[in-house]
Structure 1
Amino acid sequence: MLIAQLSDPHVREAGVFYQRVVDSNRMFAQALAHLHALDRRPDLIVLTGDLVDHGRPAEYQEVRRLLVTTSIPWLAMAGNHDEREAFRAAFHDQAYLARAGALHFCVDDHPVRIVAFDSCIPGRHHGRVDAAALAWLDATLSEARNKPTLLMLHHPPFTSGIPYMDDYRCTETEGLEAVVRAHPQVERVLCGHVHRSMLRRWAGTVVCTAPSTTTEICLQLRPDAAPASVVGPAGCLLHLWDPVHGMVSHLSHIGRFEGPYPFA
């Protein structure tokens, strides 16, 4: 099974540029077209949050308009820039989404189980894990201990070294780490939020953060670094599951590049 991860498209109202710099709607459309142009079409797209920039209904209308262009099934989870009730209204036809409360969900229709964990605090940019959410996650993971699972949450459960992003990290993650460690069927933890591709060994598994389909957060590791982003190559992650060899995750850049050239 091939699962494509797109993250943080920050779609705006039609004709409005993200950060007054880039056409994030066009870039999201390019990301979807990129998946269709791959030599192997993904079986599923997972969207790991910040689908829109301000949580406005008109922005979600644009997301739904763009998603109509893909024939690949998709699952959407919320990020800190999403507004929970507007998100729920925009995706009311998605049966996996809860009708009230946190936007956790589980989809068990594929060779790999997909579990989404809502780490968002309404109106805030950082994430948090509470006891009720941990109880839901532990119970959900316990239902299928022998099935390979992807766990999605928008906020990475670790510090990145980029100071202004770590100010908005997921806090109080000790309980989350304990729950994940107790469930070795979790093959990957998929996150967004940081607009960069990062990897870390955590809780007995591997955490992957996906790049944004729009701007990239600058890699600045000085403690006094000021927040900044650049218009770099957009990208996505491709997670290839094989029951014999396990899961391999690839970074795929979006755009037109020179080549391919013969490899000798």
Structure 2
Amino acid sequence: MLIAQLTDLHIGVGRRLAYRKVDTATALERAVARVNAMVPRPDMVVFTGDIGDLGTPDEYALVKDILRDLDVPFYMIPGNHDQRAPLRAAFADAMPIEDGGAFINYVVDAGPVRLIALDSLDEGRPEGKLCSARLDWLERTLHDGDDRPCVLFVHHPPVAVGIKHMDDQRLLSGAETFAQIVLAHKDRIQAIMCGHLHRPIHTRWAGVPLIVAPSIAHQVALDLRDDGPSAFTMEPPAMHLHRWDEKQQCLLTHLAYVDQYDGPHPFFDENGRLIV
């Protein structure tokens, strides 16, 4: 099982440049082409939020048009730049929500593992929230009798990472209860996959790996000063590839750059000798 995680698209109406600098629509097109060209090709893509930049129907229409070229199934959760109603209207098939569900919470049966999508959007706010209804849903899902390993996908990370302006926007409300639920199921939860921070970051939280994916467009500047300004850089766009290894019974995460670079080149010549 191979899952590509793409995050923080920030698509603007009419292919508007994000922050007057970032061509996010072209960035998404390149990411789609990269996924399609991979060998082996991912079994699915999970988009972990900030699909649009303002969360309007026109933005999602543009995303939908670009994703027509994606050759694998995909799923989505919202980020703080999204709006639930228009996102659900545009991508109902990418969000298999239970009937009557107020939030974009759902489960994907990925064969040997279960993917649990969790909605951390607090509409109109940059920081994340998990209210009692969403946490109760997660608790019920983890107690539904399916004991397969599972992976959680949520836009907002629940940890401070040292980038002050982003730490102020992390998952705040509900984070303590979320940690208690995760800790109680740490033997089954393989990892928590997040977006939002526009940087690849890895840590351990509530007894499980917590992995933040970089953006397929622009990255947040790596500035660990307490008074570091809010800024972004044009570091190489990238995605995460999550591979479930059935033999080892473990989840492996690889960083994959969107752009193509020189290579691959062999280490050994045609006679099997190391090239020096």
TM-score (norm 2): 0.92
Asked if residue 219 in structure 1 is aligned to residue 227 in structure 2, the reply is no
Q: Could you say what secondary structure the match of 2:209 adopts? A: strand
Q: Percent identity?
A: 38
Q: Aligned residue for 2:47?
A: 47
Asked if residue 189 in structure 1 is aligned to residue 189 in structure 2, the reply is no
Aligned ranges for residues 90-169 of structure 1 at < 5 Å?
90-94=90-94, 96-98=96-98, 100-169=101-170
Which of 238, 245, 251 is the matching residue for 1:242? 245
TM-superposed deviation, 1:212: 0.4
TM-superposed deviation, 1:22: 1.7
Q: Aligned residue for 1:255?
A: 259
For 1:230 and 1:242, the matched residues in 2 are separated by: 34
Structure possessing the higher radius of gyration over alpha carbons: 2
103-112 vs 128-137, which moves further: 103-112
Contact 2:199 2:219 in 1 (8 A): yes
Cα offsets for 1:127-158 (capped at 9, x unmatched):
12222211110110112452011101100010
Q: Aligned residue for 1:26?
A: 26
C-alpha RMSD of matched pairs (Å) = 1.4
Q: Could you say what secondary structure the match of 2:82 adopts? A: coil
Q: Could you say what secondary structure the match of 2:15 adopts? A: coil
Contact 1:88 1:97 in 2 (8 A): no
Unaligned stretches of 5+ in structure 2?
268-273
TM-superposed deviation, 1:207: 0.7
Letter in 1 for 2:90: A
For 2:241 and 2:115, the matched residues in 1 are separated by: 15
TM-superposed deviation, 1:56: 0.8
TM-superposed deviation, 1:108: 2.0
Contact 2:15 2:24 in 1 (8 A): no
Cα offsets for 1:168-218 (capped at 9, x unmatched):
011141110110111121111010000000001111211111100110000
Unaligned stretches of 5+ in structure 1?
none
Contact 2:88 2:95 in 1 (8 A): no
Aligned ranges for residues 81-92 of structure 1 at < 5 Å?
81-92=81-92
126-135 vs 204-213, which moves further: 126-135
93-102 vs 11-20, which moves further: 93-102
For 1:63 and 1:128, the matched residues in 2 are separated by: 25
Q: Could you say what secondary structure the match of 1:108 adopts? A: strand
Contact 2:95 2:106 in 1 (8 A): no
Contact 1:28 1:213 in 2 (8 A): yes
For 1:55 and 1:46, the matched residues in 2 are separated by: 18
Query: How many residues get paired?
Result: 264
TM-score (norm 1): 0.96
